[in-house]
Amino acid sequence: MRVLRRVVFPVAWLLVFGVIAVALVKMAFIDGLKEETGQLAPHAAVAAPQVPVVLGTVVNTVELKGTVSSDPDATAKATAAGKVVHFFVEAGEKVARGDKLLQIRSEEVPDAAPAAPAAPSAPSAGEAPAAPVYTYTNVLSPVDGTVATLPLLPNQQVGIGDAAATIATGTFTINAPLDAAAQYRLLGRPTTATGFITGGPGAFTCLDVKTGNAPSTGGTPAGGLSVPAAPAGPGAPSDGGAGGAVTGTVSCGVPSTTAVFAGLGATVTVSAGEARDVLTVPLTAVKGSVTEGTVWVPAASGEAEQRKVTLGLNDGAKVEVVQGLAAGESVLEFVPGAPAPEQPGMSGGMVRMGG
């Protein structure tokens, strides 16, 4: 009897353990596979990110790197032909704009007056030559500065347009290069700018702001600067381009009260307009950033439709929408197919956004 019990109990336990093992295998493999298989089909579609059209302020301020260069000497030219008869100044003297530098005497011989008919009985006498007429012309300094050279000599004959003197201005100009994106932002011809000398005096108002095209030879503006190639910003055209190539220049004068030297590095902050309480969208949402562009507006069908818009100022991140959108509308945050800007912490290549 005892032997029978010893045999039956192990067999019963083996049967219990076997049932448990079969149940675990079924739960782990068969039922689990069914649940996972049912979840393989996608349950939601990934929608392109959208942003609303909102009111905002756009301040178009462009910061540029440049160098300080000495202004060239100004040339005073003769405005009359004649002989140099007097010098009012000597080389090295300080002069103001409009000061007399030297004097030129011009000689004019008037036409002889017709002689009266002589009496038949009176003998003819020789006619006296007409006396010359002299006019005196002063050559004036075109700028404030110091007389650098007086190349003419006393009694030297000069013609109109000949160089009569050179004036060293002692002034300086900051020259900064522009790439295509910055030049487009400065199409409005800015008139104000703030300068800052690296390692020098504090910020100052830069004078007589001018913009121009880059020199045709070499593509390097005055001051010897060039812009290294850089990735296009969010407002750059989606079809690429020169990518940092110098296309223009900005120059402005340093006030005479600011102590600078030629060759110093400088920063110029150019203000090119401000628009308050205007409709704005991110530049990433617009194909094109100057005058006209295209945005993608979500439609009821689920597809995004293109819409032409008129653009105003942009600050490098957002752009003013003058016409084509209303406040509260939504647009795709990224131009379809355009590379999305790389965010901090991202690695690898560019990611195409917008669907």
- pLDDT(70) > 90: yes
Q: Which amino acid is at 113?
A: A
Query: pLDDT for 209-233, tens place per residue?
Result: 998 887 765 444 444 443 333 333 3
Residue 339's pLDDT band (boundaries 50, 70, 90)?
low
User: Any idea how long the chain is?
Assistant: 355
Tell me the C-alpha distance between 305 and 336, whole Å.
11
Tell me the C-alpha distance between 317 and 309, whole Å.
17
**Phi and psi (nearest 5°) for 319?**
-135, 145
Cα 138 to Cα 77, 81, 82, 96, 169, distances in angstroms: 11, 11, 11, 15, 21
Tell me if 133 sits within 8 A of 92, measured CB to CB.
no
Highest mean pLDDT among 9-23, 143-157, 218-232: 143-157
- pTM of the predicted model over 0.75: no
Q: Which range among 132-136, 144-148, 213-217 shows the weakest confidence by mean pLDDT?
A: 213-217
Cα 319 to Cα 53, 276, 280, distances in angstroms: 11, 12, 5
Could you tell me which CATH class the domain 50-70+171-352 is placed in? Answer: mainly beta
| Mean pLDDT score, 89-115 | 86
- pLDDT(253) > 50: yes
CATH number of 74-107+132-168: 2.40.50.100
**Phi and psi (nearest 5°) for 154?**
-60, 140
Contacts 24+ apart (CB under 8 A), 13-19: none
**What is the domain partition of the chain in residue ranges?**
1-33, 50-70+171-352, 74-107+132-168
| Mean pLDDT score, 302-325 | 89
Q: Which range among 225-229, 259-263, 294-298 shows the weakest confidence by mean pLDDT?
A: 225-229
